[in-house]
Amino acid sequence: MTQPVLELSGISKRFGAVQALSEVDLRVDPGEVVALLGDNGAGKSTLVKVIAGVHPADTGTIFWDGRAVPVAKPGDAQQLGIATIYQDLALCDNLDIVANLFLGNERTTGGVLDEVEMERRASELLDSLSVSIPSLRIPVASLSGGQRQIIAIARSLLGDPKVVMLDEPTAALGVAQTAQVLDLIERLRDKGLGVILISHNMADVRAVADRAAVLRLGRNAGDFRVEDTSYEEIVAAITGASDNAVSRRAGRVSVPGTEEA
């Protein structure tokens, strides 16, 4: 077994009277896509925020390359090499692609923005991801949803992260755009990055994820290898019963392509 790049052990987090996470474990290997699944309120977002350092855990340990590390603020996570792409992409619509990619991290020579260097690196980066965008000098507002998602992901890669967390990256995308983003996720995996993918879309999960870690009511509810686990088993873990709304429905009607959870 390889050394996991990121490992969480016994993470608990409490908000007032709500125990959002209790004793959660999670492991991400390099070059592995782990889907983080769970119903609304299962604690996925809280776990992501714990890893990203937005909400530090109350108890539990985060191991990075086998070492226990403190993650108390977003800067800590970034320093380690954890990049987080939130659902609202946080791009500046009025700035062009290059400016957005390097926002807050601009290259300068002698105090003056080095646009040539930034554009060259941006173009290299996007080429290495096999992303084709007509011009890097158009405002981000003119991009499609998928392209915006790709820009947001690409921006997180400039910091050379080892783990990338994506929160619902395909939630608002069309078929072709979803395929683009899934391709990009596969390319990240091929580059040896660990990817944590939060998604409600089981089709996406089955398409790119190697493992599915399921949370239910703030606890671990199963860790499956996606290729040898059936759709029903994962749904059962998410909902907490083999007899659930989805399986009952599947029993009544058989509609092709109901792989939506």
Partner 1 sequence: MAQQTPVADSAVGVRDPRLIVTAKSPSGLASAVVRRLRGGELGPAPVLIGLVLICVVFQSLNANFLSPQNLSNLALQIVAPGLMSCGVIMVLLLGEIDLSVGSVSGVSGAVLAVLAVNQGLPEIAAIALAVVSGVVIGVLQGTVFAKIGVPAFVVTLAGLIGWQGMQLYLLGSDGTVNVPYTGAIAYLTQTFFVPVIGWTIAGIAVALYLVLNILGERRRAAAGLPAKSLIEIAVRTVFLAVPVFGSVAVLNLWKGVPLSFLIFVGFVVAFDLMLRKTRYGRMVFAVGGSAEAARRAGINVDFVRISVFALASTLAAVGGIMAVSRAFAISQSTGSGDVLMLAIAAAVIGGTSLFGGRGSAYSALLGGLVLGAITSGLYLLQMDSSVRFMITAAVLLIAVILDAVSRRSRKTHARG
Q: Which residues bind partner 1 (CB under 8 A)?
A: 86, 88, 90-95, 99, 103-106, 108, 111-113, 116-117, 119-120, 123, 127, 130, 132-142, 176-177, 179-180, 183
Label residue 168 left, alpha or beta by phi (over 0 means left) and psi (-120 to 50 means alpha).
left
Min CB(66)–partner 1 separation in Å = 29
DSSP of 135-166, one letter per residue? -TTSBGGGS-HHHHHHHHHHHHHTT--SEEEE
The CA–CA distances, whole Å, from 36 to 26, 48, 106, 130, 227 equal 9, 9, 33, 26, 15
Q: Is the CB of 85 or the CB of 213 nearer to partner 1? A: 85
Q: How far is the CB of 225 from partner 1 (least distance, A)?
A: 25
Q: Which residues pair with 212 in a beta bridge?
A: 35, 224
Smaller CB separation from partner 1, 11 or 122: 122
Compute φ and ψ for 51, nearest 5 degrees. Answer: -65, -40
- Tell me how many degrees the CA angle 128-202-62 measures, rounded to the nearest 5: 70
Task: Supply the minimum distance, in Å, between the C-beta of residue 150 and partner 1.
Answer: 11
Least Å from the CB of residue 68 to partner 1: 26
State the nearest-atom distance from the C-beta of 120 to partner 1, in Å.
5
Residue 40 vs 132, nearer CB to partner 1: 132
Cβ 92 to partner 1 shortest distance, Å: 4
- Which tokens hold the place of 19? 């125990």
State in angstroms the smallest separation of the CB of 107 from partner 1: 9
Nearer to partner 1, 134 or 240 (CB): 134
Residue 64 Ramachandran class (φ > 0 left, ψ -120 to 50 alpha, else beta)? beta
The packing angle between helices 145-157 and 175-190, to 10°, is 20
Q: How many CA atoms lie within 13 A of 245 on its CB side?
A: 5
CA distances (Å), origin 184, targets 43, 103, 192, 214: 26, 21, 13, 23
How far, in Å, CA of 93 to CA of 143, rounded? 9
